[in-house]
Structure 1
């Protein structure tokens, strides 16, 4: 920790120097946050899992996703890593003041910013966090080490050979690992995706931007001891995020630029200084290119090879890591059920059905938002952002006009955060007429909806702060709002026969009943409603679980299995 600020020094994440096991249930390629999270998810479900990565370390200065939504925090809480992530501050906690829209770090506020008052705690599901990816990796690696899950750096996947019993994975310089399944979580340029023969579709970029990480000295004399750690800057030289990574490192956006343009280091540093709003010595630690575009895999599953995170979907910045964690939650229980004999392999097809449709929905919104933002920036530049030192009436008028232009395009993201609905799945028991009657998905709207396919509404259950998700845990759950104990017993007995982890939750709180209504609600291990009702369908409880576990779905033909090497 640094004495002056309480922030954590920048660190390098070093992957263990180890040999992966020769045999494993699931081999994960990629030790980024999504790959490590998948290992946590699968290990918690009794799956033998190992992680490999071609790199030997990851560095904070690349600083990808830093903001984690309340939905992502729900996953952290279930994985048992939330408190460790909370403690992994890389910049002083008092810098966390929400997202400010400003002309520069020390400049003028363009849109009034309401800071939270010192006082009451929020409701369940409302916490969001800001931690860089490397902070998550540190926490995840420590968690996996405590549980004896092997992670090995310096092992590059070069060949995949699928067969009916599993996948033979060749790792450079020649080690072979036999896995029953392989999960590619190895980034946007995924080797696993390429070896599996999976193409991508979507819209190519028209321009590019750069994500800079710059190092500063002590700026407290100019910015104060507790500057805002997260800002959206709009001036004539800079626009986009100016966000603290540590007490000495900041992420800054530069561009947009034509695809073939290569800005000089001096140009990039001038942009960064404009974001701070005062002259200071800066070191350019890294500059990584990103694009306002959408590229999503044509399938998230090819036989025994599956994709998650950036390997499956890359889109214009904003939430892609969170969707990777959503992939993990959806896939984890399904892989475990298949490996443990509780479900047929066809259940894995529902991972592609559910997550790919959901990711397209989010990606379309993100790309449209990006283009709105670029149009707003063009308007702002036409208005002209006054110099911060200009406090004339005309400057104040123009700043007010810019603020009004920004407000005009602001769209809430409650739907993006929480409306993770699966409305085209073979393993969800939809109610008659449900899909025709549902309101269309909207990025800015979320309402608690307990119907099948929706994320089960969460809430606090007792005076001690226990949430519904805490009670549900990692398995299936039956939310009981009916006095009919026979229905409850039949479903619980069927789950026991199938060896499924299963929890009964009796919801007696009148507010919970207002949300969930009456009857019984079956919630999957990924916190989505699978079935609800007051009467069992024909076939009884067995029929419900057959649907939810994918029984009766056609298996993927064996001739679709692939064999490939990196040299092909």
Structure 2
């Protein structure tokens, strides 16, 4: 039978030059090396420890989503083979009064409804051993006894000082734990809730206790009694992980105090040796950014939270980042693609951290209730004791929560590098998950051949186009556009309804990037440009140095416009001390509005279709904005200009704006019909949120009667009609007056505390 391993790191000399230098040889750092090296990236790993000290209370349970990663990395079977206690000890997670006590409520092992894989229990020691062996086979250096002491960013990369040696790397990845030296040297602060007490995860060694617990005891238990609480889980046949505490932050418990709690978890007196103890806290500490220039953070270096699935979150970071770094280093994408790593992972990590902290608080209350009921002695089998155990069982059942959303719902639907899907869908929930094939969501997996091969096996490390109909036009367009980007085409029958489209583009991290029956304007190239961040991206305009930011404005462009068309408006509002962020579409609103660095009040400005979409978001209550500006809100029906010159005339008479539109012309954009559902929501809104409605009196697309009605129906609104203004009213000849009108609106917001009706409805003779 295997015991817990202590494995020295390979003594390979570090290269002088490397694509990615990874700091930290824990599971996340080693996983990053596997992920990147599998994509042809030259990597090296350093750690200040000389060996992997594996007798510690690391992660043990791995979700089906994590097991999917193990399978793609080619290490799954070797991890399975590294069992450190007999697999027959795995009986699910049992809620018990002690290891030899009474079962309060069994937790059944759930089948993998959403995955081809099942959850797996192996101690962190097994993972690190297999990862190190895998990297040694690939020739990836993992050097122990090497400490990062400083680094300097250059135009080409990072010069890292490592124990007296300089290593040149294109990127530096910090995977060096909660006290990350990389994060500290990069000057990246953390935010979140601090703990008010502390607990300990212990590894204790036993002798042969089979005479008390039998030859096959339950390997995973959650204990509830008057002295012990939390996990009691086998790490090997002689080592067990057990929790102790809580203790005051300033209290340092003795070994005897910790071991006394451990014995209570076993439920009988036994000799125990304390092999290791690790402090943990019910807290949340998340880095303000996961990327600073050429420095990136993953795992606990980026986010520390209440225990329970943390390692899986770190693996999720690695998988999200891996393909992006590989694409940038191979020249398939600009460096800016790496910004989406922070945009996608940090909101997800925050959601999960918030859930974990709330769950820990509920568990603390449940434990208090259990102990108030009073856990009977295990030997007490009387009626009163049985009644109390039944009462405890009912109390614990009330707090049982499924975590399917935590396991599978790594949604990136507000990401700038997925194709907009036209809606955010149901809010994220920790306890709910359903396969969702919309862009940004995890592509539904499944077996694609009768011999066990899965869709994820077929995708491998590439982008994949799923072709779900006989038509191969989209497939051929992508094959013409991808160049040497790693790309595969998968033909599948009978899955069209499951994915909701004839064609689905899946990213290498298994998330849907685009889906459709036909390609959008710009074709396959336009799709790839957005997914790889090669298209125009979100643009920020900041107040001049020395001025305090007075608020934030998010701008959503309309048909045929992009971020560059709002350069003058952005610069003008920024000069009045407002931070202006121009988005590429309404799907970025939620992600942008969640940025913790934005200054309130937060105002959404939508133009044309952007106005319709923003109006619909506000009407549905799906935005955290403080106010909204709807500019050039179109009417129902289509009005197709007969020529590009006519379209320019209906848009604007401003030569600067016409020049920007002509430089990147999308003729016929105004002929595209606006979704009537969006218009219904915008025009029918009675949202109690301040509105400024801007419209040009020479706008041929405006529905004048409908605009007047909505202005009068809204509780707080101003309808401003711009004389001689055309459809692109924010960018027409009158843009100075329009900017002044918006600034006046913003100042009225700032002066209202709380926001109260500050203008009366005004209509116009048009």
Q: Deviations over 1:461-516 (max 9, x none)?
A: 12111111011111000011122211111012211x2x1111111110x3x33321
Going from structure 1 to structure 2, the CA distance change for 1:154 and 1:553 (only over 3 Å counts) comes to: farther
**Aligned match of 2:467 in 480, 485, 493?**
480
Q: How far apart are 1:93 and its partner, in Å?
A: 1.2
Other-structure match for 1:90: 84
1:243-293 residue CA offsets vs partner (Å, 9 max, x unmatched): 000110000001111111122211111110110011110011111110000
Q: Deviations over 1:381-408 (max 9, x none)?
A: 0000000000000000000110111000
User: Are 2:288 and 1:301 aligned?
Assistant: no
Structure 1 unmatched ranges of 5 or more = 3-7, 558-568
1:546 to 1:272, Cα distance in 2 relative to 1, 3 A: same
Asked whether 1:166 is paired with 2:153, we answer: no
- The structure 2 residue matched to 1:19, chosen from 13, 21, 24, is 13
Counterpart for residue 371 of structure 1 = 361
CA contact (8 A) 1:522 1:530 kept: yes
Q: Report the Cα offset of residue 57 of structure 1.
A: 1.1
Contact 1:346/1:556 (CA < 8 Å) preserved in 2?
Answer: no
Q: Aligned equivalents of 2:398 and 2:511: distance in 1?
A: 34
1:40 corresponds to: 34
Following superposition, the deviation at residue 232 of structure 1 comes to 0.2
Q: Distance in 2 between matches of 1:208 and 1:63?
A: 15
Structure 1 residue 49 corresponds to structure 2 residue 33:
no
Q: After superposition, where does 1:331-410 map in structure 2 within 5 Å?
A: 331-410=321-400
Q: How does 1:119-158 map to 2 (within 5 A)?
A: 124-158=115-149
Q: 1:430: which partner in 2?
A: 420
SS at match of 1:232: strand
TM-score by length of 2: 0.69
Q: 2:657: which partner in 1? A: none
Match of 2:531 in 1: 548
Q: Distance in 2 between matches of 1:411 and 1:373?
A: 11
Which structure has more relative contact order (CA 8 Å, sep 6+)? It is: 1
2:229 is the alignment partner of 1:239: yes
1:326 aligns to what SS in structure 2?
Answer: helix
Pick closer, same or farther for the CA change 1:149–1:111 going to 2, 3 Å. same
Q: Which residue is 1:287 aligned to?
A: 277
The TM-score normalised by the length of structure 1 is: 0.93
Distance change (3 Å), C-alpha of 1:53 and 1:556? farther
Whether the aligned pair in 2 keeps the contact of 1:101 and 1:231 (CA below 8 Å) is yes
Give, in angstroms, the shift of residue 112 of structure 1. 3.9
1:62 and 1:313 mapped to 2: Cα distance? 20
Between the aligned partners of 1:514 and 1:395, the Cα distance in structure 2 is 54
Residues 396-545 of structure 1: matches in 2 within 5 Å? 396-432=386-422, 434-435=423-424, 438-495=425-482, 497=483, 499-508=484-493, 510=494, 512-545=495-528
CA contact (8 A) 1:303 1:556 kept: no
Take 1:46 and 1:56, find their aligned partners in 2: how far apart are those partners? 27
Q: Distance in 1 between matches of 2:11 and 2:371?
A: 51
Partners in 2 of 1:43 and 1:236 — Cα distance? 50
Over residues 431-484 of structure 1, what are the superposed CA-to-partner deviations in whole Å (9 max), with x where a residue is unaligned?
22x12xx00111111101000000001011121111110111110000111222
Report the equivalent of 1:564: none
How much does 1:309 deviate? 0.5
Conserved in 1, the CA contact under 8 Å of 2:65 and 2:115? no
Q: Is the 8 A contact 2:64 2:115 kept in 1?
A: no
Give the Cα separation in 1 of the matches to 2:348 and 2:120. Answer: 23
Number of residue pairs matched by the alignment: 540
| Structure 1: distance between partners of 2:394 and 2:265 | 21
Q: 1:516 to 1:552 in 2, by over 3 A?
A: closer
- The alpha-carbon deviation at position 11 of structure 1 amounts to 1.6
C-alpha distance in structure 2 between counterparts of 1:555 and 1:513, whole Å: 33
- How far residue 19 of structure 1 moved from its aligned partner, in angstroms, is 2.0
CA distance in 2, matches of 1:493, 1:218: 66
Q: Against the structure 1 CA distance between its residues 444 and 121, is the aligned structure 2 distance closer, same or farther, given a 3 Å change threshold?
A: closer
1:58-73 superposed matches below 5 A? 58-73=52-67
Counterpart secondary structure, 1:110: strand
SS in structure 1 at match of 2:68: helix
